Structure 1
Amino acid sequence: MLSGDVDDKSAQAIGKFVGAQAVITGQFIAAGDAYRFRAQSVHVESAVRKTSTRLDVQNTAKLRRLLAALRNSKTVSRAADYGAAENAAPTTAGAFLDKGLLFAGRGEFDTAIAFFTDAIKLDPNYASAYYNRGNAYSGKGDYDRAIADYTQAIKLDPNLASAYNNRGNAYSDKGDYDRAIADYTQAIKIDPNLAFAYYNRGTAYDDKGDYDRAIADLSQAIKLDPNLAFAYNNRGAAYNSKGDYDRAVTDYTQAIKIDTNDARAYNNRGSAYGNRGDYDRAIADYTQAIKLDPNYAFAYNNRGAAYALKSDYDRAIADCTQATKLDPNLAEAYVIRAAAYGSKGDYDQAAADFSKALGIDPNNADAKQMLEIIRRQGR
């Protein structure tokens, strides 16, 4: 059976606050279960333009402090001056946090971690700083440190649902799906509308092979956020694993409607078509996936498998060769290419590829079986 691929995404919100005769332009930055608003520019107008976003904001003490701080700001201009904000030396824990968020957003995780650490030094009870440093460690693939920081953030703020969610992601990345599921469950208890927690728990169940629970959670994620393309993609993968290829195709198609540039959704729909025996449609989808992502080794691998099943061995060999160039450790590509060589009567090359596959994955049953057959036949 051809297998699919899963993915994940993140989002950022950009917005405007509109006050009486003043337009404050800035950026919402995710920081835990809330957003920090980072002002970029302020200017006064005689009337708010029709194209401006209008928000009715409750007149709270926090809002009054925000407006007072902006009125006293020396950087009031019509153009956003990011450079000044970026180069300004932080002096408070909040300022260090903002700096860290800026660099984390660029993927400069080491620099971000240094700023989050400075924020923690100034305020050891700053849950958001631990949480965001955990995100930066996770971005680096340092899941143990990420888990430690999320745990501290939770200790300081037990209702921080996103910290449970992200700690679950770190456990999942370590392959500890039971702990991941426990954390996602806690995140859902705190915030029953957190679509990403359902999505992540569903993906963890899928990784454990519990496809019915995976489908249930991914369905709930879709109910909460109907535009969550990758939830459709991953639910399709669960259906595909259950052998329900028609539902898998339906879900992958919906994922593609939402995001026409999702190479994995095309690859995965191709897998479902291939499992239904519709190799021409499968090849068309793999080709589109490759067009969107020319370095997608798995799509070359799968298209090679589809060509092999159509007895087009030369194209199968060409695709699997490209897959191994992009990912030299993709054992499956060597197995498919070996089978294609064997079908063409090139048993020496087939044996070499089966041996290569076993060197990468000593437990590959297909490679073991086929190599033994070739050796028994004295080829």
Structure 2
Amino acid sequence: MRYGLGIVLGLMVLPGLVFAQKNKPANGNRVVMVVGRPMTADDSLMVRQLFFSALREKTVENFTLATEEFNQILSMDPQNDATLFELANLAKLKNNYSDARDFLEKAVTVKPDNQWYWVALADCYEKNNEIDKLENVFNELIRIDPDKVDYYYDKANVYFLQKRYDDALGVYKQIEEISGITDDLVAKRQAIYLKQGRVDQAAADMEAMIAANPTQVRYYLFLAEVYNSNGLQDKALATLQSAEKIDPNNGQVHLALADIYRDKKDNEHSYNELTAAFTVSDLDIDQKLKIVLNYVPKFPDANAKASALELSRLLTVAHPDDSRAFALYADMLLQNGKYKEAKENYKKSVQMNGQVYEVREQLIRLELGDNDIDGALKDGQDALSLFPNQAWLNYLVGVAYQQKKDFKKAVEYVKNASELETQDKELLSQAYSSLGDCYHSLNDLTKSDQSYEKALTYNPDNSYTLNNYAYYLSIRGIQLDKAAEMSKHSNELQPGTASFEDTYAWILFKQKKYAEAKTWMEKALVHNNKDNSPVQYEHYGDIMFQLGDINTALQNWKKAKDNGGGSPILERKINEKKYVE
């Protein structure tokens, strides 16, 4: 329904209080006729006082007392239309549209020329789904104000709902005589033609608009939609190609062409039209954002990812001042594994608009991944000034401090994260795992063990927690069976990880299972062939010594030294040519 005026009636005060005056005696006293007896001047005065009192109570939302006072007026003056109207509004506040309807039906019998009463009554009929009663309402409103086009549209809408399409078309003809042809009128008339299956008539109507306005591209778009929605793709394509000649830089035309080509399975032309549309800065960016995001469900298809990446890049060219363009481009770069470029575009987005939390978090994650610890700390602290209660943000800043080896600061922020979030098991598992690492570095072994245990309650398959906890237990030479079980599980969860294999080999070594330890350490050395780890070489040397292969042990201890190992114990192993605890 178009009669939007009804929604504000509850806020309106009528321009004047109108009481039903039936006669006026010679002495000049105003008399209002009521059932049973005429009102005296005192009665009339009381009615006025009650009315204003009720309005005051309504204003302060004392609706119960307001209703009582309005009803008291009706007991004295049953035809007081202003009171009937106010009681209808009070009933609407309670969503009691049946009572509101009854009051308003009485009000319009008293004052049939008051259009606000009729508009309010129309609202009640609609809310009560009494559509059949609306026709008379709009007939009355048109009678009161025959030049108000909205009432004609409302009447036509009633006919449309009742599927009285020819009657609706008749009303649209009246509208055309009053206000001439408009886009709204043509669109509504087309909707009826299409409901009636009269596609040719709908197209002819729009072709007439094009003939009268040959340079107005929007009419070509409307006509193409009529054709396309009714399976006439070739006609739609020809119409849009005509529009493109008139305005080659019209983004909506290019989008419409992209849709047509896509429906015709011509993906190359469809994509070309999309790229043309994305270069048009006048085309709404929200529409473009939705188009790019529609590619995401098609990931990890390489073509979909590449298309989304290029379209999002074009967004930044067409909308260089919109932070959303750079955020989306960064997202697509991330999806394509271009982490450095993604980081730079997240930074640009933040510089334009720092209020988007998700963008800030992604930036910090990439900085940590790129080992840009100072950048992560700076951007993390900036973000925390705006979003201090974001658990993940506190955790990421804590991890940055952990990487800086400022373990006390790290504990502070990671503990904040664990206290701010109580439901996210992934975060809690990672947070307590980080606390375990930090407390170990601070030599608070009790808290370290407790933190690892708690991390595993949230995620018993956290491979990094299992590995680190197991390794630190083995270093201390305690609970080796538990350590072996955890380390073995971490390797099952993430096979081929050199550091995990090294840990398991070392635990087996501590358990004096030297042959098994040798097997696992050799796996670690193979899988870590790009990183000559002095720790792994030293461990392998220790294992080989216990297996009686002194030469191989000495070779690996020397490799450990050559690759950065420089502990006094390693020096003793090399010099004394034997294993030293």
Q: Kindly tell me: are residues 104 and 231 of structure 1, through their superposed partners in 2, closer, same or farther at Cα, counting changes over 3 Å?
A: farther
Query: What per-residue deviation string (whole Å, max 9, x for no partner) do you get for residues 122-169 of structure 1?
Result: 322332231233244456664442332122101221222333333233
Which residue does the alignment assign to 1:54? none
Mapping for residues 346-361 of structure 1, pairs under 5 Å: 346-357=549-560
Structure-2 residue corresponding to 1:9: none
Q: Tell me if structure 1 keeps the 8 A contact 2:346–2:362.
A: yes
Structure 2, unpaired ranges of 5+: 1-228, 230-261, 278-286
Contact 2:368-2:376 at 8 Å conserved across structures: yes
- Asked if 1:185 is matched to 2:381, the reply is yes
Matches within 5 A, 1:47-62: none
Q: Indicate the residue corresponding to 1:253 in structure 2.
A: 453
Q: In structure 2, what is the equivalent of residue 93 of structure 1?
A: 288
Question: How far apart are 1:112 and its partner, in Å?
Answer: 4.1
State the partner residue of 2:239: none
TM-score, normalised to structure 2, is 0.46
Larger CA deviation: 328-337 vs 131-140 = 131-140
Q: Residues 235 and 106 of structure 1: is their aligned pair in 2 closer, same or farther, counting only changes over 3 Å?
A: farther
Cα 1:156–1:105, aligned 2, differ >3 Å: closer, same or farther? farther
The one of 441, 466, 486 equivalent to 1:241 is 441
Q: 1:263 to 1:173 in 2, by over 3 A?
A: closer
1:200 to 2:396 alignment: yes
Asked if structure 1 preserves the Cα contact closer than 8 Å seen for 2:558 and 2:574, the reply is: no
Give the C-alpha shift of residue 352 in structure 1: 2.8
C-alpha distance in 2, partners of 1:337/1:125? Answer: 57
Q: Secondary structure at the match of 1:114?
A: helix
TM superposition shift of 1:373: 4.7
Match among 506, 523, 526 for residue 322 of structure 1: 523
One-letter amino acid matched to 1:267:
N
Q: In 2, distance between residues paired with 1:95 and 1:292? A: 38
The answer on whether the counterparts of 1:180 and 1:204 sit within 8 Å (CA) in structure 2 is yes
User: What amino acid is the match of 2:489?
Assistant: Q
Deviation at 1:285, TM superposition (A): 0.8
- Consecutive unaligned residues of structure 1, counting only runs of 5 or more, are 1-73, 75-82
Alignment of 1:114 with 2:310, yes or no, is: yes
- Per the alignment, do residues 240 and 139 of structure 1 end up closer, same or farther by CA in structure 2, a change over 3 Å counting? farther
For 1:352, give the aligned amino acid: Q
Secondary structure of the structure 2 residue equivalent to 1:260: coil
Match of 1:281 among 479, 482, 491: 482
Conserved in 1, the CA contact under 8 Å of 2:550 and 2:577? no
In the superposition, the TM-score normalised over structure 1's length comes to: 0.68
How many angstroms does 1:251 deviate by?
1.9
Alignment of 1:218-229 (within 5 A): 218-226=414-422, 227=425, 228=427, 229=429
Task: Report Cα offsets for 1:221-256 as digits up to 9, x if no partner.
Answer: 111213322112112111122222332222222222
Residue pairs, 1:20-35, within 5 angstroms: none
Aligned residue in 2 for 1:38:
none
Task: Report the AA paired with residue 94 of structure 1.
Answer: L
| Partner SS state of residue 365, structure 1 | coil
Cα distance in 2, alignment partners of residues 103 and 317 from structure 1 = 46
Q: CA deviation at 1:289?
A: 1.2
Q: In structure 2, do the counterparts of structure 1 residues 372 and 269 end up closer, same or farther at CA, with 3 Å as the change threshold?
A: closer
2:558, 2:311 → 1: CA distance?
A: 49
Deviation per residue, 1:41-80 (Å, 9 max, x gap): xxxxxxxxxxxxxxxxxxxxxxxxxxxxxxxxx8xxxxxx
CA-atom RMSD in angstroms: 3.4
1:336 to 530, 539, 564: 539
Q: Once the 2 structures are TM-superposed, how far is the Cα of residue 301 of structure 1 from its aligned partner?
A: 0.6
- Matched to 1:97, the amino acid is V
Does residue 311 of the first structure (1) align with residue 506 of the second (2)?
A: no
Give the CA deviation at 1:356. Answer: 4.1
Aligned residue for 1:243, secondary structure, equals coil
The answer (yes or no) to whether the contact 1:307–1:316 under 8 Å persists in 2 is yes
The residue type paired with residue 340 of structure 1 is I
Of 159, 171, 176 in structure 1, the residue corresponding to residue 367 of structure 2 is: 171
Instruction: Identify the structure with the greater strand proportion.
Output: 1
Secondary structure (helix, strand or coil) at the match of 1:282 reads helix
The one-letter code of the counterpart of 1:176 is D
Give the letter aligned to residue 163 of structure 1. V
Instruction: Tell me the amino acid that sits aligned with residue 237 of structure 1.
Output: D
Closer, same or farther: CA 377–238 of 1 in aligned 2, 3 Å: closer
- Give the letter aligned to residue 224 of structure 1: L
Whether 1:272 aligns to 2:464 is: no
Helix, strand or coil at the partner of 2:460: coil
Aligned length: 296
Aligned to 1:363: 564
How many Å apart are 1:103 and its aligned residue?
Answer: 6.0
Amino acid at match of 1:98: L
Higher helix fraction: Structure 1 or Structure 2? Answer: 2
> Is the aligned partner of 1:159 residue 2:355?
yes
2:140 equivalent in structure 1? none
Q: Which one has more relative contact order, counting CA pairs under 8 Å at least 6 apart?
A: 1
Structure number with bigger Rg = 2
Check conservation: 1:321, 1:333, Cα contact below 8 A. no
